[in-house]
């Protein structure tokens, strides 16, 4: 019997509110230092390194919205019948460079939920696609996250 009810699968296609954020030199510099980057253009904040969209669009929520383990609850996701998160995967396409002063907007979509049989029982996979566009609506970054629950 499938773990995935029709009701759960109806969440496929669900989309977040677009989130618009400003890229700053200071935030680029902090990220470059914190990741151990050795390239001058990133350490000086002249350009954003790959994966800078990760901190840029990380959810900023108020303290009482964090779970006791300090995690912000992803409101895009439905409640799954399995909850223990396993390794995840990330696919990222880079379409345009990112510089200080850029305004970027990210929209996240729950694009798939599916089930597979693992060695130690059923696994649920879900995929979230984040599209990042600039103010001219040009695609800058596209990211697909795959998460596995057991």
Partner 1 sequence: MSVALSVQRFAALRVGDSLPERDFECGNVQQMLYNAALWNGHRIHFDEPYAREVEGYPGLVVAGPLLGDWLHQCVEEWLEDDGRILSIDYSNRAACYVGEVVTSGGTIKALRPESKEADIDVFVRNAEGALVAPGTVVVRFGESW
Q: Rounded distance, CA 26 to CA 150, Å?
A: 39
In which region does residue 101 sit, left (phi positive, over 0), alpha (psi from -120 to 50) or beta (all else)?
left
Of 63-71, 75-83, 103-111, 117-125, which part binds partner 1 (CB under 8 A)? 63-71
Query: Closest CB to partner 1 among 12 and 148?
Result: 148
Q: Rounded distance, CA 1 to CA 63, Å?
A: 39
Contact map string, positions 17 to 56, toward partner 1, x by CB under 8 A: ----------x--xx-xxxxxxx-------x-xxx--xx-
Q: Does 88 bind partner 1 (CB under 8 A)?
A: yes
Query: Closest CB to partner 1 among 9 and 144?
Result: 144
* Residue 96 near residue 134, CB atoms below 8 Å: yes
Query: What part of residues 68-87 is at the interface with partner 1 (CB under 8 A)?
Result: 69-72, 87
- Pick from 5, 75, 91, 150: which binds partner 1 (CB under 8 A)? 91
Q: Rounded distance, CA 113 to CA 116, Å?
A: 10
Query: Closest CB to partner 1 among 9 and 82?
Result: 82
Query: Closest CB to partner 1 among 37 and 109?
Result: 37
Q: Rounded distance, CA 32 to CA 110, Å?
A: 29
SS3 31: helix
Q: Rounded distance, CA 77 to CA 98, Å?
A: 28
**Residues near partner 1 (CB under 8 A):** 27, 30-31, 33-39, 47, 49-51, 54-55, 58-60, 66, 69-72, 87-94, 97, 146
């Amino acid at each position: 019997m499938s773990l995935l009810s029709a009701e759960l699968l109806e969440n496929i296609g669900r989309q977040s509110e677009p989130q618009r954020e400003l890229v700053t030199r200071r935030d680029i510099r902090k990220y470059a230092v914190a990741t151990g980057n050795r390239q001058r253009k990133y350490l000086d904040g002249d350009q954003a390194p790959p994966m800078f969209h990760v901190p840029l669009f990380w959810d900023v929520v108020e303290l009482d919205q964090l779970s006791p383990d300090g995690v912000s609850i992803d409101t895009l996701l439905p409640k799954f019948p399995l909850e223990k998160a396993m390794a995840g995967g990330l696919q990222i396409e880079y379409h345009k460079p990112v510089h200080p002063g850029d305004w970027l907007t990210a929209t996240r979509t729950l694009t798939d939920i599916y089930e597979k049989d693992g060695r130690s029982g059923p696994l649920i996979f879900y995929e979230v696609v984040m599209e990042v566009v600039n103010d001219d609506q040009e695609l800058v970054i596209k990211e697909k996250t795959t998460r596995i629950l057991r």
